[in-house]
């Protein structure tokens, strides 16, 4: 097994993941301030991953498509908004954030359908997917998309096949303004901090790094110029990996497993204690009624 594919977490598998080697965590950094909205990354994503082209329609936005789909793993979202009397274009590179605590993986009931590699990439193995879509409800960022024909779920895999070969993801490679960077998580955090400082010097007082702690940090971070307007960027303020109902389900399943076990064992012990009860026992005559 190549080190790039060392598995850190694996869905619905009671045994520990196989990896004993460690490898550095990698991350993508999207500097929204540098994005010019060319959507070259969308095209690169389609080309590298050989995803179907989906016709675009004008729905009154600069955006290419209205939403992600099984064939569109990356969508540049554009929101026009007024800030201090000026028109502003809030751009979000909408794709999987590759959470350190992946809500999708925790929700998945199919062994091996979702894995997280040591390098931080969260990948769907469609051949193991059973199509229940629990990952969709488990994702705090609403990223995975269900394909009605194949009945499997798809999303950005961070070009794992490129990363494995030592290359950066296709969107990073193609970005003409270097708005997207690729490197170790530590390097990207350092880069992000510098970028935020620069933005603040330029007057973006609320500039911030988006690396939410509720999901343990992410492997696609953003430098957000207007960090006080996360909702307008369509970025959740406080995403969590396991929301209340999932945690409650985990607890009740644990209790349930014991109750089912006690039920079966209890029935057997009861049988051994008092034996079967039939009319024959009562009358003492076999077959007598």
Partner 1 sequence: MRANEIQRFTYAERVVHWVVGVTFVFLLLTGLAFSYPKLFWLTSLVGGGAVARVLHPWVGIVFTVGLVFMVVLWIREMFLDRHDVEWLKAIRHYVAHQRDKVPPAGKYNAGQKLFFWVQSVSGVVFLVTGLLLWFPEGFLGLDPFGRGTLSAMRFLHYLATLGCGLFLIVHVYLGTVAYPGTARGMIDGKVTRGWAKLHHPQWHREKTGS
Q: Name which of 89 and 260 has its Cβ closer to partner 1.
A: 260
Q: Name which of 183 and 236 has its Cβ closer to partner 1.
A: 236
Helices (H) and strands (E) in the chain, counts: 8, 11
CB of 141 to partner 1, least distance (A): 10
Q: What's the CA gap between 203 and 46, in Å, rounded?
A: 36
Contact between 289 and partner 1 by CB under 8 A: the answer reads: yes
Quick one: which of 32, 46, 35, 29 has its CA closest to 226? 32
CB 241 within 8 A of CB 215: yes
β-strands 220-224, 152-154 pairing: unpaired
- Of positions 36, 165, 190, 264, contacts partner 1 by CB under 8 A: 264
Q: Name which of 203 and 276 has its Cβ closer to partner 1.
A: 276
Binders of partner 1 among residues 123 to 162 (CB under 8 A) are: 128-134, 136-138, 140, 142, 146, 151
Q: Name which of 85 and 284 has its Cβ closer to partner 1.
A: 284
CB 191 within 8 A of CB 28: no
Binders of partner 1 among residues 244 to 263 (CB under 8 A) are: 244-246, 248-249, 252-253, 256-257, 259-260, 263
CB 12 within 8 A of CB 109: yes
CB of 129 to partner 1, least distance (A): 7
CB 141 within 8 A of CB 27: no
CB 193 within 8 A of CB 63: no
Distances (CA, A) of 171 to 26, 101, 107: 15, 23, 28
- Of positions 9, 14, 59, 114, contacts partner 1 by CB under 8 A: 14
Site string for partner 1, 84-123 (x = CB under 8 A): -----------------------x-xxx------------
Six-digit token pair at 267? 């029935």
Q: Single out the segment in contact with partner 1 by CB under 8 A; choices: 30-38, 92-100, 210-218, 243-251.
A: 243-251
CA-only gyration radius of the chain, Å:
25
Q: Name which of 122 and 199 has its Cβ closer to partner 1.
A: 122
Contact between 194 and partner 1 by CB under 8 A: the answer reads: no
Q: Name which of 18 and 263 has its Cβ closer to partner 1.
A: 263
- Of positions 3, 13, 64, 88, contacts partner 1 by CB under 8 A: 13
Residue whose entry in the numeric block shows the structure tokens 């296709």: 170
Quick one: which of 284, 233, 9 has its CA closest to 119? 9
Q: What's the CA gap between 158 and 156, in Å, rounded?
A: 6
Enumerate binding residues for partner 1 (CB under 8 A): 12-14, 107, 109-111, 128-134, 136-138, 140, 142, 146, 151, 243-246, 248-249, 252-253, 256-257, 259-260, 263-264, 267, 270-271, 274, 276-280, 282-283, 288-289
């Amino acid at each position: 097994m190549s080190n790039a594919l060392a598995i850190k977490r694996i869905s619905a598998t009671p045994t520990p993941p196989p990896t004993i080697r460690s490898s550095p965590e990698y991350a993508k950094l999207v500097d929204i301030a540098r994005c010019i909205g060319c959507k070259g990354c969308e095209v690169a994503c389609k080309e590298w991953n050989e995803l179907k082209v989906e016709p675009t329609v004008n729905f009154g936005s600069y955006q290419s498509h209205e939403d992600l789909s099984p064939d569109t793993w990356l969508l540049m979202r554009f929101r026009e908004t007024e800030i201090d009397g000026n028109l502003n274009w809030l751009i979000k590179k909408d794709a999987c954030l590759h959470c350190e605590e992946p809500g999708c993986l925790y929700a998945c009931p199919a062994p091996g359908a979702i894995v997280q590699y040591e390098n931080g990439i969260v990948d769907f193995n469609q051949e193991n997917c059973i199509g229940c879509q629990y990952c969709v409800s488990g994702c705090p960022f609403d990223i995975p998309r269900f394909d009605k024909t194949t009945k499997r779920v798809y999303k950005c895999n961070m070009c794992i096949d490129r990363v494995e070969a030592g290359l950066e993801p296709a969107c990073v490679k193609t970005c003409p303004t270097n708005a997207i960077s690729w490197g170790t998580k530590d390097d990207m955090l350092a880069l992000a901090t510098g970028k935020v400082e620069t933005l603040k010097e330029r007057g973006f007082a609320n500039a911030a790094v988006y690396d939410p702690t509720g999901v343990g940090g992410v492997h696609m971070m953003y430098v957000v110029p207007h960090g006080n307007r996360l909702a307008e960027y369509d970025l959740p303020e406080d995403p969590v990996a396991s929301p209340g109902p999932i945690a409650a389900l985990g607890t009740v399943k644990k209790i349930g497993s014991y109750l089912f076990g006690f039920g079966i064992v209890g029935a057997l012990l009861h049988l051994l204690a008092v034996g079967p009860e039939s009319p024959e026992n009562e009358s003492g005559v076999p077959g007598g009624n």
